[in-house]
Amino acid sequence: MAMTDDADLFAATDAPEDVTRPLAVRMRPATLDEVVGQDHVLGPGSPLRRLANPASKGSLTAPSSIILFGPPGVGKTTLAYIVAKQSGRVFEELSAVTSGVKDVRAVLDRAHRRLVAEGKETVLFIDEVHRFSKSQQDALLPSVENRDVTFIAATTENPSFSVIKPLLSRSVVVKLESLEPDDLKTLIERALNDPRGLKGEVRATDEAVDEIVRMAGGDARKTLTILEAAAGAMTGDTARKKGARLPIITPEVVSQVMDVATVRYDKGGDDHYDVISAFIKSMRGSDVDAALHYLARMIRAGEDPRFIARRIMIAAAEEVGMAAPQILEVTVAAAQAVAMIGMPEARIILAEATVAVATAPKSNASYLAIDQALADVDAGRIGEVPLHLRNAPTKLMKDWGNHEGYRYAHDWPGAVAPQQYMPDELVGREYYHPNDRGYEHEVKPRLDRIRAILHAERPKPGTDGER
């Protein structure tokens, strides 16, 4: 989709009598000063302020490419509209969902001709730029670099992972935040009274406003959508008769029109990674309640339950380990059950596995042990396998000394034979150091005794040799 007429873009905000558009569109800010909740990126001298200044046209120092990164409903599209309108640039828009390389090149050619023939600059806005393929993003580079267009993109995914490096290096990334409750309340109050909005024809109790804010999850568009639905339920979508009492929106009305709160969770973006990170860290930290909270958020957001089950299995091995080795069995069984049963019943299985990991004693000794062993291998500390441990299926290999002198563990007391297993270069190297929590409390003294036998040493004082 391409748009070039600023009047079309801002018709809703410039024409109070146009009440057919959604409330969220009618209440779209017309200037940067009307934008709520993004003060941290709209201060004096900020890239967006400089770009919205009409004096920025033709400037060699003004930003030529901006990527707006943030969750839905925080004003990314609105900011692009405002920058184009306030600066006097022509506005063109492409959707990454419906546009191909041909569409990109057509818009860029049009912008180049406009600049050369009429001296008019163009703002090219691309929504959901993370959906653009590499070839589509590559097609933008020459025009961005040559300033044929002022490029503004919007994405809900971290641009570090979704935007190609050449384009990212030429752009200023502006991170937008979810709106705070006070910001959303400001929007509600404005919409209730503004001639573009509900014109003071409907009121809302403080409790109803709080309920709308709670359900909106920091999303301005969602806030106004819920408010509009609640107002419609009260008025029956008809004008109030002269002298009639103002309809009042209550929490019950809000609950009636919106029965489930919005969950802030973008499965392809940072919300996905932030929530799963918090989930894992809560299990690691033994905060079972927090772990269940993040599990609930993932479930409500529609996260793949098999993905959640895999992360729980990993946590069982990495965080619990040998302190409670049976927990891994529990989580593996849970993952298998989730795959067989599916949602919604799988939520119970996931909860049980989460509780098992979160409440179990913790040890990362196995995790650290394998990483240290891998580090030695990566550093070249390998050495030859001792001859007595080598395979000897042929006479020639026996003549080489393979297997000679090997001590069969089961022929020795406790099934532990004193002999060298490590390569010569690594004799005495120890990777696994159990702690004193859970089952590892029992493993540690036994391991001390085993190591003493393997190295033909006497058991350490205070330990009883199991021979």
Is 355 inside any structural domain?
Answer: yes
Distance CA 25, CA 196 (A): 10
Same structural domain, 106 and 47: yes
**What are the pLDDT tens digits along the chain (467 aa)?**
444 444 444 444 444 445 578 898 899 998 999 999 899 999 988 999 988 888 777 666 667 789 999 888 888 989 998 999 998 899 988 887 778 888 888 999 999 999 999 988 999 999 888 888 888 888 888 888 888 888 999 988 888 888 899 999 888 999 998 889 999 999 999 999 999 999 999 999 999 999 898 888 788 988 999 999 999 888 876 777 776 788 999 988 988 887 655 555 555 555 667 889 999 999 999 999 999 999 998 888 778 888 899 999 999 999 999 999 999 999 999 999 998 888 889 999 999 999 999 999 999 999 999 999 999 898 888 888 888 888 888 888 888 888 888 888 898 888 988 888 899 888 888 999 998 889 989 998 989 888 888 887 444 444 443 43
pLDDT of the residue at 262: 53
* Crossing angle (nearest 10°) for helices 220-235 and 206-216: 130
Same structural domain, 83 and 170: yes
pLDDT of the residue at 265: 56
* Residue 124 main-chain phi, psi, to 5 deg: -100, 115
Q: Which residue has the tokens 């030429």?
A: 170
Same structural domain, 166 and 209: no
Same structural domain, 166 and 91: yes
Is 246 inside any structural domain?
Answer: yes
Distance CA 109, CA 236 (A): 49
pLDDT of the residue at 17: 47
Same structural domain, 201 and 167: no
pLDDT of the residue at 60: 64
The domain of 398 spans: 382-454
Asked if residue 185 lies in contact with residue 36, where contact means CB atoms within 8 angstroms, the answer is no
* Residue 145 main-chain phi, psi, to 5 deg: -65, -35
Same structural domain, 206 and 274: no
Measured at the alpha carbon of residue 126, what is the angle toward residues 120 and 127, in degrees to the nearest 5?
Answer: 145
Same structural domain, 354 and 445: no
Same structural domain, 154 and 189: no
Same structural domain, 129 and 231: no
> Which of 123, 146, 175 finishes a domain?
175
Distance CA 280, CA 315 (A): 7
CATH code, 227: 1.10.8.60
pLDDT of the residue at 235: 83
Of 144, 32, 142, give the one whose Cα is nearest residue 82: 32
| Domain count of the fold of the chain | 4
Is 234 inside any structural domain?
Answer: yes
pLDDT of the residue at 320: 95
Same structural domain, 25 and 171: yes
Q: Which amino acid is at 126?
A: I
pLDDT of the residue at 3: 46
